[in-house]
Amino acid sequence: MPAPMIEVRGLTKTFGPIEAVAGISFRVERGEIVGFLGPNGAGKTTTLRILAGIFPPTTGEVRLAGRDAAREPLACRRLVGYFPEYAPFYPDLRVAGYLRFVARLKRLPRADREPAVAAVLAACGLEGVAERRIGTLSKGYRQRVGLAQALCGDPPILILDEPTIGLDPGQVVEIRDLVRRLEGKRTVFFSSHILSEVEALCERVIVIARGRLVGEGTPLELSARLGSRRRIVLRVDGPADAVAKALAVLPGVERVERGVAGFVLEGARDADAARAAGEAMQRRGWPILELREEAPDLEDVFLRLVGDGERRA
């Protein structure tokens, strides 16, 4: 089995009396897109900065593609494209000139630099503004320049710190699409506190609070671990009162809600309430218009995880 692209073991970081990261461990496999969640001040940015090689951890180990970041800091930095929060930029440099500068700093061989710059300009939709000064660009374009410098030189690992913060909804969608296109090709580890974004982009999330890991897994696994109930949405062509009565007595169904569009059942985790509901409707000859199990709400899961984490701390 190949080494995981990112492996973190017992990571801590203290700044004077402040403990920003209090011992976290996790791994990210090749080609995964993993979301890094936590409330503000949880230690997300500090963790990402350590991964990007800005400063070393106080204790603990970071391995990127099997390489020890403490022993080979420069080799590890070559594997990583980093997008810092708020996408800092040099206002007076031109987009293409800036990316050439980045390509040189990333030690790309001379012959590869121009193709690399052209490739990221195209990937981030920046061809039209290549000769503009970065300071004159709109926020969305600047954010793309930030992403372009991270992508420059094709690093296998991308670390993105709040890539969509401060953007308007259209721009958020653009950046998300850019990240989604990387799926499978790159390992992407990104922090966010926008839950819908994490749900839309990643199959796995890591949640921290107060510098500690409080949850890890797919949104489904996390909610299962917390013992959340399953939610089933049902729309049926039948007399509403009779339907509600029939649903309420089904095994495994704990609560029936009557919404505008239909019924919402809350069922125990281990019972298959959806099947029971479907069979019950069929037996009575009421046509089912819609029957689906709703994905667990990550927001609930997140709040519960973070709440637990803060209570423990």
Partner 1 sequence: MTVLAIVRKELTLYFTSFLFYALAAVFLVLAGYFFYTNLGFFVLMGGMDLPRGLWQFEFLDVQRLLIVLVPLLTMRLFAEERKLGTLELLWTYPVRDGEVIAGKFLGCLMVVTLMIAATAVYPLLVARFYPVVAGPLVAGYLGLWLLAAAFVACGLCVSALTDSQLVAGAATYGVLLFFWVVTWNEAAVNEVTRSLLVPFSLFDRFYLFARGAVDTKDVIYLVLFTVAFLAVTFLALDTRRWRGVR
Classify burial at 217, counting beta carbons within 10 Å of its beta carbon; exposed 0-12, middle 13-18, buried 19 or more: middle
Is 92 a residue that touches partner 1 (CB under 8 A)? yes
Strand partners, 215: 207
Strand partners, 253: 267
Residue found by looking up tokens 């001379």 in the block: 110
Side chain identity at 78, as an amino acid letter?
R
Residue of 74, 45, 77, 50 lying closest to 62 (CA atoms): 50
Tokens read off for 48: 């990402």
User: Which of these ranges, 50-58, 136-144, 191-199, 287-295, lies near partner 1 under the rule CB under 8 A?
Assistant: 50-58
Alpha-carbon distance values, 11 to 58, 157, 159, 209 (Å): 8, 19, 17, 14
| Closer of 161 and 216 to partner 1 (Cβ) | 161
Is 309 a residue that touches partner 1 (CB under 8 A)? no
Count Cβ neighbours within 10 Å for each residue of 130-156 and write b for 16 or more, e otherwise: eeebbeebeebbbbbbbbbbbbbbebb
User: Which of these ranges, 88-96, 252-260, 279-287, 305-313, lies near partner 1 under the rule CB under 8 A?
Assistant: 88-96
| Closer of 82 and 302 to partner 1 (Cβ) | 82
Of the residues 2, 17, 88, 169, which one makes contact with partner 1 according to CB under 8 A: 88
Is 288 a residue that touches partner 1 (CB under 8 A)? no
Of the residues 26, 36, 82, 263, which one makes contact with partner 1 according to CB under 8 A: 82
Of the residues 25, 86, 275, 287, which one makes contact with partner 1 according to CB under 8 A: 86
Fill in the per-residue mask, 125 to 164: x = in contact with partner 1 (CB under 8 A), - = not in contact: ------------------------x---------------
Residues in contact with partner 1 by the rule CB under 8 A: 15-16, 46, 49, 52-56, 58, 74-75, 77-78, 80, 82, 84, 86, 88-93, 97, 101-102, 104-107, 149
